[in-house]
Amino acid sequence: MFNGDGSVDVSPGCNRGRGSWTLEGTGIAFKEVILTKMACADPAGSLENAVLAVINQGTLQASIKANVLTLQGGGHGLQLTAG
């Protein structure tokens, strides 16, 4: 959840957390994302590792088409759908 105050709430798999986001040109950067420390069994653990591998890349390329936000960085990507 991207919040108007620059904070972001994340739930990448089985843990939850909070951090900040900023627009950088046409990209988005996530900073200081801190998560709870629950042990994550698969498949939630694998999903969480994949999501974190993307958001920890620094500034990500971002594009929006309809209700889908696509983030790409470091050869990996995420598609987030607004609901």
83 pLDDT higher than 80: no
Which pLDDT belongs to residue 18?
96
Give the count of domains, the chain: 1
Phi-psi region of 49 (alpha: psi -120 to 50; beta: other; left: phi over 0): alpha
52 located within any domain:
yes
2 located within any domain:
no
Which pLDDT belongs to residue 29?
95
24-50: pLDDT as tens digits: 998 999 999 999 999 999 999 999 999
Q: 68 lies in which domain range? A: 7-81
61-76: pLDDT as tens digits: 999 999 999 999 988 8
Which pLDDT belongs to residue 42?
93
64 located within any domain:
yes
28 located within any domain:
yes
Q: What is the CATH number of the domain that holds 63?
A: 2.40.128.270
Rounded to a whole number of angstroms, the CA Rg of the chain reads: 12
12 located within any domain:
yes
Instruction: Indicate the pTM of the whole model.
Output: 0.80
47 located within any domain:
yes
How is residue 8 annotated by DSSP?
E
1 located within any domain:
no
Strand order in the sheet with 59-65: 7-10, 17-24, 27-35, 59-65, 68-73, 76-81
